[in-house]
Amino acid sequence: MTRLFNEPSAFADEMIDGFVAANSAQVRRVSGGVVRSTVSTPGTVAVVIGGGSGHYPAFGGIVGQGLAHGAAMGNLFASPSAQQVHSVAAAANLGGGVLLTYGNYAGDVLNFTAAQDRLNSEGIETRTVVVTDDIASAPLAEKHKRRGIAGDLTVFKAAAAASEAGYSLDEVVRVAELANERTRSFGVAFTGCTLPGAAEPLFTIPEGRMGVGIGIHGEPGIDETDVPTADGLAELFVSTLLSELPEGISSPDGQRAAVLLNGLGSVKYEELFVVYRRVAQLLEEAGVVIVEPEVGELVTSFDMAGASLTLFWLGTEEGSELERFWRAPADTPAYRKGSVGAVEQAAPAPTEALDAGLTENIPPATDDSRAAAAVAAAALQAIAEVIDENVGELGRIDAVAGDGDHGIGMQRGSRAASSAAVELLAVGSGARTLLQRSGDAWADRAGGTSGALWGVALRAIGDTLGDSDAASGAAVAAGVRGATTGILGFGAVVGDKTMVDALVPFADALEAGIAAGRPLTQAWADAADAATTAAAATAQLLPKMGRARPHAEKSLGTPDAGAHSFALIVQRIATVLKEQDSK
């Protein structure tokens, strides 16, 4: 239960303010997150981490000497936007290139990748290593699909220590990849978490039961059992992790390993220590030499009750490269070891204002295009309204198979876009300018996967409409086709049960209706019905094979959240178009 908040939508921002106020010796705020407030060595690689908020100390809490140079801090459980990642990386850049490293979640991959492209295009050499330590999240053969959980810390720390050692970007990437290969985690959870202002937990687990392998946002796990004893949990953790040793390690006997026992939030230190007692015994019985273990809260999930065990395999040789990097000193708000030596406070740099220039340099537009822009603004307002009405339901639907952030992400994005559109309309923007800049506002404020996709969609429609022409049915259909092409470019295909399952039939129907000579309002309404039918068809009708899902009973009949919100939106816009016609 989250009790202490003001306006729920301001929570993440206020949290970062308070965090920075309390930890100014190590971090300072920049647009999109935080960077070190202390001087780092010029010319070294900047290690930039990030992800959604709600996982403290991940990610801002582990910025500082010996660990990350900066952290992009998204909204609660939502990826930072590409602009946030870019802004933090640019501020953290020391001239030696940038390593982006973060847990493997679709929204993060999308936004960090876009930021990487922009950084590289600006001449800041940027590479990426995603963390994939959660062995329950995909089979070994699909290791690249695994999620990142508490193993974030070992990968980040190895990379950062390599940077402190003066390694080149190539070498830092090599170390980070090796650390990721050598890091394996396995987690369990007993309860869901409740986001600020939410009336109910994101998901629930029956009292006395334990979700095995469940993700840190409640992503489906591999089993559900009764809660074991502390020793029983230690045995489950250790036996599972010893059953999947990294490549090249045939037996745990004689191997050295860092051990992290991580609490997700509501599990107490005392409970973790009772579990750790048995974990250490079991590892020692297996011949593992434990190196500088950590027991505590390293990557949390708000107030979720649960825990995970991470093994970071350092090899048989004492003082190996990975072991030196694990043992290296660090001084961050939430993670400190050894002594980093004397540090100097960096001079504060001006922070980039996110809204700078929204209404500056507005290109000239015709009256026709301004009329189209007014309809677009009305549509954006309608989108914000329909999302507001459905925000709770969208979150619940998303929590069944995803990370539960869809409702709040769409809300932040659509509100930002609608509010930008009002300002842009007032300064005489045409349709292209209004849709492009509103789309940027959506992507930036929403973060996450949906934010990036909707930003692309609005920008594509704006590109097609331009700032001169009236919005003909053909132009709108072409714009929607352009948006579809842009979104498919991220790799989803129809049938994956994502937003594109509704988007593609919608674009097809709209195009066909216009081609058949129907007026836009009619063609849109028909296409919206097609989207609604297609969105409903994304519902899982049978449990996925192979992997047991604690939420199986809930997931049956629940559509994909992105497809569902898409259908709600295009239906509401159909209403807006009808109202416009009747004016």
Give residues in contact with a copy of itself (CB under 8 A): 1-6, 11, 14-19, 21-23, 25, 53-54, 56-57, 61, 190-191, 196, 227, 229-231, 233, 261, 265-278, 280, 292-297, 300, 302-303, 305, 307, 334, 336-337, 339-341
Pinpoint the alpha helices (H) of 47-95: 82-92
**Distance (Å, rounded) from C-alpha 501 to C-alpha 561?**
11
**Distance (Å, rounded) from C-alpha 173 to C-alpha 222?**
31
> If we measure between CA atoms, which residue out of 566, 490, 498 comes closest to residue 108?
490
Strands 70-76 and 46-53: parallel
- Tokens 């937003």, residue? 499
Burial class (CB in 10 A: 0-12, 13-18, 19+), 32: buried
Residue 398 CB partners (closer than 8 Å, separation 6+): 404, 405, 406, 407, 561
Three-state DSSP class for 399? Answer: helix
Nearest approach in angstroms of CB 452 to a copy of itself is 24
Report whether 139 contacts 126 (CB < 8 A): no
The one-letter code for the residue type at 436 is Q
**279 or 386, CB closer to a copy of itself?**
279
Report whether 164 contacts 41 (CB < 8 A): yes
Nearest approach in angstroms of CB 342 to a copy of itself is 8
**61 or 482, CB closer to a copy of itself?**
61
**3 or 583, CB closer to a copy of itself?**
3
Nearest approach in angstroms of CB 16 to a copy of itself is 8
**181 or 235, CB closer to a copy of itself?**
235
Nearest approach in angstroms of CB 414 to a copy of itself is 24
**273 or 364, CB closer to a copy of itself?**
273
The dihedral built from the CA positions of residue 420, 423, 429 and 430, taken in this order, carries a sign that is positive
Nearest approach in angstroms of CB 277 to a copy of itself is 3
**Distance (Å, rounded) from C-alpha 257 to C-alpha 97?**
30
Report whether 275 contacts 233 (CB < 8 A): yes
**Distance (Å, rounded) from C-alpha 76 to C-alpha 193?**
12
**13 or 496, CB closer to a copy of itself?**
13
**218 or 482, CB closer to a copy of itself?**
218
Q: Does 217 participate in catalysis according to the annotation?
A: yes
**312 or 506, CB closer to a copy of itself?**
312
- How does DSSP assign 472-498, residue by residue? -HHHHHHHHHHHHHHHHTTT--TTSSS
Report whether 442 contacts 417 (CB < 8 A): yes
- Tokens 């940038």, residue? 98
* Backbone torsions φ then ψ of 499, nearest 5 degrees: -55, -35
Report whether 199 contacts 391 (CB < 8 A): no
Nearest approach in angstroms of CB 14 to a copy of itself is 5
Tokens representing 333 are: 């708000």
Nearest approach in angstroms of CB 182 to a copy of itself is 21
**57 or 462, CB closer to a copy of itself?**
57
**Distance (Å, rounded) from C-alpha 223 to C-alpha 204?**
14
Q: Which of 217, 406, 551, 564 is catalytic?
A: 217
**207 or 553, CB closer to a copy of itself?**
207
Nearest approach in angstroms of CB 341 to a copy of itself is 7
Nearest approach in angstroms of CB 290 to a copy of itself is 8
> If we measure between CA atoms, which residue out of 69, 72, 127, 66 comes closest to residue 98?
127
Three-state DSSP class for 52? Answer: strand
- Tokens 């407030």, residue? 37
**Distance (Å, rounded) from C-alpha 272 to C-alpha 295?**
7
Nearest approach in angstroms of CB 522 to a copy of itself is 48
**Helical (H) or strand (E) element with 36:** strand 33-36
Report whether 469 contacts 475 (CB < 8 A): yes
Q: Which residues are catalytic?
A: 217
